[in-house]
A and B are shown apart, each in its own frame.
Chain A
Amino acid sequence: MSTNPSTPSEATLQAFADMSAALTGFQSSFIRPFLDPVNLSGTFYSFAVSQVGQPRMDALLAAFNNLNNQNPKPTPQQIADTLLETSLDAPSLQAQLCQSIVAMWYLGSWYTPGVLGGNGFAPPALQVITSQAYTKSLVWNLAQAHPMGFSPFVFGYWSQQPASLQTFGVDTGNGGGQ
């Protein structure tokens, strides 16, 4: 365990990762695998804190942990719908933060919470978080493809049907994930 206050603890990072898995619909192993040499969870956690402050992140993780520890345990879909407030007309600040967290995983970039696009255009991103945040971004898995500029596939793959959405990491069984 690190004693450096700015390095989040294992438990905090795991909670952030589990919450991210629920919010994004991906299996935990795609968010924070058992061995994680890329450590996007750490990068994204720290970046989000740098943007919204530690108290807001702590409050969000506390809300997640409360949900996650309920008995019976809600499904990842229920957790996601609750935190992202999909049934409300106007999402709260915390739900907007969750939207930005989903966007980090899907798109590799930070979008200011609550800033919407318009006139046919997406909202502006503040920045691409890191080059690896882009090359590991997950929206391309939702297309059953790969980030433009980073193909892990071999010649001719584009003439074949891709692997399933589940193979690309989405928790389609909806009962899995932790």
Chain B
Amino acid sequence: MSNGASPQYDVVIVGAGVSGNLIAKQLGLAGKKVLILEAGLPVPDSREEYMNNFYLALAKTPESPYPALAGRTGSQQNPVGVLPDPSKLPTPRATVLSIGKAPDVSYLVQAQPWIETHDPKLPPQNPPPDANGNIRGLQFSSTFERNGGGTSWHWLGTSLRELENDIQLQTKYGHGVDWPITYPELQQLWALAEKEIGVAASTAEQEPLEVVGLVYPTGYQYPMQSIPMSTVDDAVSKGIAGLQVPGTLPDTPGGSDPTMYNVFVTPTPQGRNSEPYDDRRVCAGNTNCIPICPIQAKWDPTVTLGKALDTGNVTVSYQSVAYNVAVDGTNATRIDYYVWSRDANGNLTKVSKSVTGKIYVLAAHAIENAKLLLMSNNWNGIANSSDQVGRNLMDHPLYLSWALAPEPLFGYRGPLATSGIESLRDGEFRKYRSSFRMEIGNEGWNFSKGDPYTTALDYIQGTNNTGTNDGGPNGAPQRLAGVQLAEKLNNILTRQFRIGCMFDQSPMAENRVTLDVTNGKPNNVDGLGLPRPKVEYGLDPYTMEGFRMAAYVCSQVYQKMGAKEFTTTGMGSAGDFTYRGVNYHYYGAGHVVGTHRMGNESGSSVVDASQRSHDVPNLWIVGSGSFPTVCTANPTLTLMALAFKSADSIIAALGS
């Protein structure tokens, strides 16, 4: 302690997101005094403002409801509205609209996209691989929020459990690293998370996935009945009946897995109400999970925050940006933070404060946690004897494919995704290539092409930006009117669907978050004068071979269904890459992991299985940043499960 005084709180938590709110709740229930420092604005009393932001947004991206907003007026120069300058914001964050842009728009400082920097006299091409076959200098394309409630305001709700082999990738397949936790322990923790969130599923419906190592303890019941599958799910499921694909394609580097795997659809366990639960409404299929559920049928972290506050032992200090965790010897002794506000003229002002606790928890998101650790101790960093802080940055890079079904299957309805193809998530092939899950989208070509806008304007204006409008003479686009226009759009929109494949990307030490500084000076700062995160990112052949497989599987699915594929890649934007002569495009899934990975060895990991720092015994660093590998399930359920374990270990460390 700085002057021998008692700590002001039992625990100080940085970040009011999934992990922070859950840990605060558990601690509050155990009678511990907790302060949450939340960088961003408070949870609003109702979601009117956020929904209104969404309705008026020109580009309805995941960040669109949440501050800081894009402008609401579009032009050729700024087609999605003027984007705010991160150097003027107190809590800038990564956004979809800023991917590939320079630091005056992009909070994350990244290498300029290859397509922007290479010689314009050369034909369009994507960055070449390095000597190891890795492609470097790619854009990290996942985003996050910094406000009360955090990023999972806009999670989809997908609540899949990891597979048995996901957490022992090294032992089973000689790739990546193992998790320092057992599957039975995770099963117990997942049950707690599923109850907290309110996950709707049926173990009976998940039984076919035992083949990939998804097993439940005997008699386990989910809190709520499962969400009905959509008409899209049904059409895909029936259309692919009997489909099989090999584990690897011919000429896969390193080896082959010729086993034929069954391709089938299963409903997805989801964190949205299929019954009245927890004083929240039942899902009405607003098809808006990302970016925001209008009726809170989908759980979000503000639900848990409310329960944390109900304990009477938790306080939240909003607009409080932690910038230094002071460490004295081995222990953390205080957190320094800025409280920011805007004066009557809208100018940003800040006041520096400090707070002390017995235990400190960093729950600010994988990228912000890394940034805070690296900034601490005069930018020398703390808790980093392993040199792994910020490293092993991973995402689920997402390969998107889309098609027109032969018959209407009625997308744009129901939750954004209600089923997936999970049956290809595990197998021998994981020695040679990345695994992936396949998410069946219920939203037509909304993600794929910005539909129904792009298709509607194609047929109104006579353009062919979607690829379907080539029915005029000599393949020219048609320009239609009245009922003919309406019926044509009906014909197209009701047959649109898409599949997103999410890859178990390799942990790579060179994929990392550092501070954007040169010679001890920040190159770019935010509105509070804090350095910005610099991100270096790329893909390895293991992951890219997964893309190759996914493209094949998607095409097989479409072929079997009699659907016509419309996937395009190489659009000349950030996210393009070429692998073995084929152009691909990846998106970010919003699943940011790895930057403070857990492990048993302090030399190669930052935290232990309880997410307690190896180096600083009263410091916990929590969230998906602790994942040693990204595995094959969406991370939110697992990161909440781990937070339960962390909460228990913190309570134990506090003693009675």
Direct contact of A and B (CB under 8 A): yes
Q: In the complex the two chains form, is A143's CB within 8 Å of B58's CB?
A: no
8 Å CB interface, A92-118 against B: 99, 102-103, 106-107, 109, 111, 115-118
| B73 → chain A closest CB, angstroms | 5
Q: In the complex the two chains form, is B452's CB within 8 Å of A140's CB?
A: yes
Cα A12 to Cα B326 in complex, Å, equals: 70
Q: In the complex the two chains form, is A120's CB within 8 Å of B481's CB?
A: no
If A143-B452, A151-B284, A161-B231 touch, whether A124 touches B80 (CB-CB below 8 Å) is: yes
Q: In the complex the two chains form, is A153's CB within 8 Å of B457's CB?
A: no
A79, A81, A103, A148: the one contacting B287 at CB < 8 Å is: A148
Cα A87 to Cα B525 in complex, Å, equals: 56
| A173 → chain B closest CB, angstroms | 9
If A126-B74, A131-B56 touch, whether A23 touches B481 (CB-CB below 8 Å) is: yes
Is A154 on the interface with B (CB-CB < 8 A)?
yes
Binding stretch for chain B, among A48-56, A65-73, A164-172: A164-172
Residue with the highest number of chain A CB atoms closer than 10 Å, among B75, B285, B572: B285
B75, B76, B483, B490: the one contacting A76 at CB < 8 Å is: B483
Is A91 on the interface with B (CB-CB < 8 A)?
yes
Cα A153 to Cα B414 in complex, Å, equals: 9
Cα A54 to Cα B569 in complex, Å, equals: 44
Q: In the complex the two chains form, is A149's CB within 8 Å of B483's CB?
A: no
Q: In the complex the two chains form, is B74's CB within 8 Å of A155's CB?
A: no
Is B523 on the interface with A (CB-CB < 8 A)?
no
Q: Interface 1/0s, chain B 404-424, versus A by CB < 8 A?
A: 000010111111001000000
Query: Which residues of A have CB within 8 Å of B415?
Result: 158
If A111-B457, A121-B454, A131-B56 touch, whether A145 touches B288 (CB-CB below 8 Å) is: no
Q: Interface 1/0s, chain B 487-515, versus A by CB < 8 A?
A: 10110011000000000000000000000
| A40 → chain B closest CB, angstroms | 14
Cα A143 to Cα B493 in complex, Å, equals: 5
Q: In the complex the two chains form, is A103's CB within 8 Å of B490's CB?
A: no
* 29 A–B contacts, CB within 8 A, in A order: A80-B482, A80-B483, A117-B458, A118-B463, A118-B465, A119-B572, A120-B571, A122-B450, A122-B454, A122-B457, A123-B457, A124-B80, A126-B74, A139-B452, A143-B410, A143-B452, A143-B490, A143-B493, A144-B410, A145-B287, A146-B412, A148-B412, A149-B54, A151-B284, A151-B285, A151-B286, A155-B282, A159-B231, A172-B487
Q: Which residue of B lies closest to A154 (CB)?
A: B284
Q: In the complex the two chains form, is A127's CB within 8 Å of B73's CB?
A: yes
A103, A125, A131: the one contacting B58 at CB < 8 Å is: A125
Is B559 on the interface with A (CB-CB < 8 A)?
no
Q: In the complex the two chains form, is B456's CB within 8 Å of A172's CB?
A: no
Q: In the complex the two chains form, is B481's CB within 8 Å of A84's CB?
A: yes
Q: In the complex the two chains form, is B413's CB within 8 Å of A158's CB?
A: yes
Residue with the highest number of chain B CB atoms closer than 10 Å, among A77, A118, A134, A158: A158
| B561 → chain A closest CB, angstroms | 18
B410, B483, B568, B572: the one contacting A170 at CB < 8 Å is: B483
Q: In the complex the two chains form, is A165's CB within 8 Å of B487's CB?
A: yes
